[in-house]
Amino acid sequence: MEEIVASVRNAISEWHGIDLYKVVIVKPGGLPKTSSGKLQRGECRKAYLDGTLRIIMEHPGQPTNVVQSTEVKGSTHRKIFEVKSRSVTDTARLVRGCIASAIGINPENVTDDTPFSVYGLSSLHVIRICAELQNIFARRVSPGLIYEHSTVQSLSTFLSTHSAEIHTEDFGVSSLPNEPIAIIGMACRFPGADNLARFWDLLMNGAESIGLVPSDRWDWKEFYSPGIIKPNQMSTCYGGFLKEIDHFDSLFFGLSAQEAIHMDPQQRLLLEVAWEALEDAGENIKQLAGSAVGVFVGLSSFDYAEILRRQHEISPFAGPGGALSIAANRLSYTFDLQGPSIVVDTGAVLCNRW
């Protein structure tokens, strides 16, 4: 065990320039993970601090920049970790290391006054950098902080001069403010599940929803190239597909067949699931007409508009049918909802911030 700890300590010190806190061995499956199998670092830290982590063996150690104390409120004990400040120079070295590690370059190529946008950081890079900084400094580091302090010098100055008192619950859902929001209706379309009941059955039974490309989409044998990537060929013949996306009752929503053809399938599906969600909530759609109901839609891709453009499909309906902004507006118009009607493209927002 001592040899393992020494190796890990040396590796961490070499790559990140920080002291090893502790080495903890847990039971298989004992770490909190997301539904896609990713490690939930904040939850792991919270479980360790709360004493709920299923630990097999623990090697002692003490971080050099963290002081633990306990706050008592009534009968409730709350662990607090007060982070000692670091020098700007030391902090800058650690920040450079995190950036270099995230994008795979030498830390010497990261300079203090170069804007982060020059390094071509993607949103995924930013999330990784935030996670590393959060672990190093034992404090919350949000992507917004990276955008606001967009150079190593600016970010290091902020991190080293703003002390942080970290409560164990800061990394859990309990830290979120209580808002008067309730989910009262749901609807969905997923591969292998075209409604909530089937989606639940799929999850409970561990069923597989990924399969061969359906014959009504395209002949995968014509484009499949296993092992070697070739122009105009695919390296896989599997995928997740929704069924009958062309089966849309346009008249039900007051649309002509010609307009429906030029509508992005995302807009057609959105109309269907919105109607189903309102039904699931027990809402009378006619009674909602004219009321201050807001519509907020998360949407990003516009592949269908590109397909129509390449096929020279010119129509008065092609513009609104492929525009992302129209998706929420179409719901508001169809159901006569008078509140805010907004489409949020989070990918575009991240890019524009740079």
Question: Domain residue spans in the chain?
Answer: 2-64, 88-170, 184-243, 245-354
Buried b (16+ CB within 10 A) or exposed e, 301-333: eeebbeebeeeeeeeebbebbbbbebbbbbbbe
Buried b (16+ CB within 10 A) or exposed e, 207-237: eeeeeebeeeeeebeeeeeeeeeeeeebeee
Structure pTM?
0.47
CA distances from 104 to 9, 97, 100 (A): 22, 10, 6
Phi, psi dihedrals of residue 234, rounded to the nearest 5° = -110, 145
CATH H-level, domain 2-64: superfamily: ANL, C-terminal domain (3.30.300.30)
Percentages of the chain per state (helix, strand, coil), in multiples of 5: 45, 15, 40
Q: What is the pLDDT along the chain (354 residues), one digit of tens a residue?
A: 566 666 766 666 655 555 566 677 777 777 888 766 777 877 888 887 777 777 777 665 444 444 444 444 444 444 444 445 578 888 888 889 888 888 888 888 899 988 888 888 887 888 888 888 877 776 778 888 888 888 999 998 888 876 554 443 443 434 445 667 788 899 999 998 888 889 999 888 888 889 899 888 888 888 888 877 778 888 888 888 888 888 888 888 888 888 888 888 888 899 999 999 999 888 888 888 888 889 999 888 777 777 777 776 777 777 777 778 888 898 999 899 989 998 887 664 443 333
Query: Half-sphere exposure of residue 352, counting CA atoms within 13 Å on the CB side?
Result: 6
Phi, psi dihedrals of residue 228, rounded to the nearest 5° = -115, 125
Looking at domain 245-354, its CATH architecture is 3-Layer(aba) Sandwich (3.40)
Chain centroid to CA 290: how far?
34
CB atoms within 10 A of CB 74: 5
For domain 88-170, give the fold.
1.10.1200
